[in-house]
Amino acid sequence: MELFDLTGRVAIVTGSSRGIGRAIAERLAEHGARVVISSRKAEACASVADELNTRHGPGTALAVPANISNKADLVALVERSRAEFGRISILICNAASNPYYGPMLGISDEAFRKVLENNVIANHWLVQLVAPEMCAARDGSIVLVSSIGGMLGSATIGAYCLSKAADMQLARNLAVEFGPHNVRVNCIAPGIIRTEFSRALWEDPAVEERVTGLCPLRRLGEPDEVAGIAVMLASRAGQYITGQTLVVDGGDTIV
């Protein structure tokens, strides 16, 4: 367990009131970290934090709602996290949005900006807020939750895929910058995971069967199967991994 022990570590996880983000927060807490639960809705954040505090003891989790498109919210998120828990050593940028479905020729400027701001620029803002203290302490792990969409072309979610490819390059750039300070930066690229975000692809059994038909594992992924990778990257088990994109897709991208 030493390789995965996160006792004494403080983690901020965005988009952690449900889905992949919640699974990551739950597993980080299970391995000893104190976790800041953040998403737009205060009630949802409080519910997850209360559950983790009940399960793992008071002081395990803190709810700090924030809108990732609002820089002031992110500043407040980091400041309160630091005030309540101390130095932040783990940052998981999981929150993202995809407000448009269709060809890129039809996307409005407003929707395009929203995708890039929420999925790339917000991550950059958060990194700017936490990386200096990580570098000063020579200790930190930053994980950007990307997508296999960033490795593939798409006729319907092109802007989203573009933003996720940008996250992969952001991780590589930051890994080069922060490596000399012993701060690691990586991406996780999930395939289709059974969450609300992907509901349209699994709520109809016929659609799910079609989607998984070519996947080597012949099934969708579960949030916990992404969470395990996040724990590894945040812990000593992943201390020699940086600038990488770890694909968690049941083999989708190899066929």
Residue 16: pLDDT band (50, 70, 90) is: very high
The pTM (predicted TM-score) of the whole model is: 0.96
pLDDT greater than 90 at residue 196: no
160 in catalytic set = yes
Model confidence at 216, pLDDT cuts 50, 70, 90, reads very high
Q: Is residue 212 one of the residues assigned to a domain?
A: no
Residues 6+ apart with CB under 8 A from 73: 66, 67
Is 158 within a domain? yes
Q: Is residue 218 part of a domain?
A: no
∠ CA 175-177-181, rounded to 5°: 90
Q: How confident is the model at residue 1 (pLDDT cuts 50, 70, 90)?
A: confident
Q: Which residues pair with 10 in a beta bridge?
A: 34
Domain housing 65? 2-189+223-254
The C-alpha atoms of residue 236 and residue 27 are separated, in whole angstroms, by 15
- Tell me whether residue 200 is in a domain: no
**Looking at residue 201, what is its pLDDT?**
76
How many structural domains compose the chain? 1
Look at residue 251 in the predicted model and tell me its pLDDT.
97
Query: 205 in a domain, yes or no?
Result: no
Q: pLDDT tens digits for 44-61?
A: 999 999 999 999 999 999
> Which range has the worst mean pLDDT, 51-65, 88-102, 163-177, 205-219?
205-219
Check pLDDT > 80 for residue 107: yes
* pLDDT tens digits, 24-34: 999 999 999 99
pLDDT per position as a tens digit, 120-171:
999 999 999 999 999 999 999 999 999 999 999 999 999 999 999 999 999 9
Closest among 251, 233, 37 to 145, alpha carbons compared: 233
Catalytic entry in 100, 101, 160, 240: 160
Decide: 221 and 250 in contact? Cβ < 8 Å.
Answer: yes
Q: What is the pLDDT confidence band of residue 199, given thresholds at 50, 70 and 90?
A: confident
**C-alpha angle 32-33-34 in degrees, rounded to nearest 5:** 125
**Is 14 a member of any domain?**
yes
Q: 21 in a domain, yes or no?
A: yes
CATH of the domain at 175: 3.40.50.720
